[in-house]
Amino acid sequence: AQRVTQPEKLLSVFKGAPVELKCNYSYSGSPELFWYVQYSRQRLQLLLRHISRESIKGFTADLNKGETSFHLKKPFAQEEDSAMYYCALSGRGNTDKLIFGTGTRLQVFP
Amino acid sequence: ETGVTQSPTHLIKTRGQQVTLRCSSQSGHNTVSWYQQALGQGPQFIFQYYREEENGRGNFPPRFSGLQFPNYSSELNVNALELDDSALYLCASSSQPGQAAYEQYFGPGTRLTVT
């Protein structure tokens, strides 16, 4: 079964603390993995994707095929990072449908 | 360049009624995907349209149907509304299906409440 699991509904940290938002997936094949973010009163937007191997706003995520994980990390959280984060996967086919996890709300306190 | 727009912003319908939601894709995009996001859940893929043809469908019953027009805008139609259809409906556009490298751009959503 194709599934994305985000075990934490809420993650609260203080400014400057490290952050790790967990994501595990189940997929028979080689999926593409993404992190989407939704800031307050804004639309869902792409944060980063594993194929780009990029760092966006200080966030990185490494695909671990052995552990089927794609955890999102940032060494020093900022207050403006407070948002809803969704992990998603897409199979390699003729459609790029996204399978989303249930999301993790990140709260960064001053 | 204009972003993805959706209308209406929100609406309330009665069980058994029919509803049509609309989406205008981002300029230059020919692919539109629809997602349903129930409260506390992540978005769930309903279907995708590419060049006016359905190009993939999720696990939704046939009473969920869609259209894509020559200008690549799209409609989502839901017949015989049920209480569980209450959700945020998201539209996303991209420039090429099947290519994960092409980013999907999401609209603000339509909040549907079925009473």
A27 in contact with B, Cβ within 8 Å: no
Give strand ranges (E) for chain A: 3-5, 10-14, 19-21, 24-26, 32-38, 45-49, 60-61, 72-74, 83-90, 99-100, 104-109
Say whether pLDDT at B95 is over 90.
Answer: no
B40 in contact with A, Cβ within 8 Å: yes
Query: Is A98 close to B35, i.e. CB distance below 8 A?
Result: yes
What are the CA-CA distances from residue A96 to residues A37, A54, A107 (Å)? 18, 20, 30
Say whether pLDDT at A90 is over 90.
Answer: no
Which residues make beta-bridge pairs with B5?
A: B24
Name the residue among A34, A44, A102 with its Cβ closest to that of B90.
Answer: A44
CA B16 to chain centre: 20
Structure confidence at residue A82 as a pLDDT band (50, 70, 90): very high
Q: Who contacts A34 (Cβ-Cβ below 8 Å, separation ≥6)?
A: A46, A47, A48, A49, A50, A87, A88, A89, A90, A98, B100
Q: State how far residue A75 is from chain B, nearest Cα, in angstroms.
A: 26
Structure confidence at residue A4 as a pLDDT band (50, 70, 90): very high
- Give B-chain residues touching A96 at CB under 8 angstroms: 31, 33, 48, 94, 97-100, 102, 104
Query: Is A86 close to B43, i.e. CB distance below 8 A?
Result: yes
Q: State how far residue A78 is from chain B, nearest Cα, in angstroms.
A: 24
Structure confidence at residue B62 as a pLDDT band (50, 70, 90): very high
Query: Is A100 close to B94, i.e. CB distance below 8 A?
Result: no
B100 in contact with A, Cβ within 8 Å: yes
pLDDT score of B28: 84
Nearest-CA neighbor of A23 among A76, A54, A56, A59?
A59
B107 in contact with A, Cβ within 8 Å: yes
A98 in contact with B, Cβ within 8 Å: yes
Average pLDDT for A23-31? 89
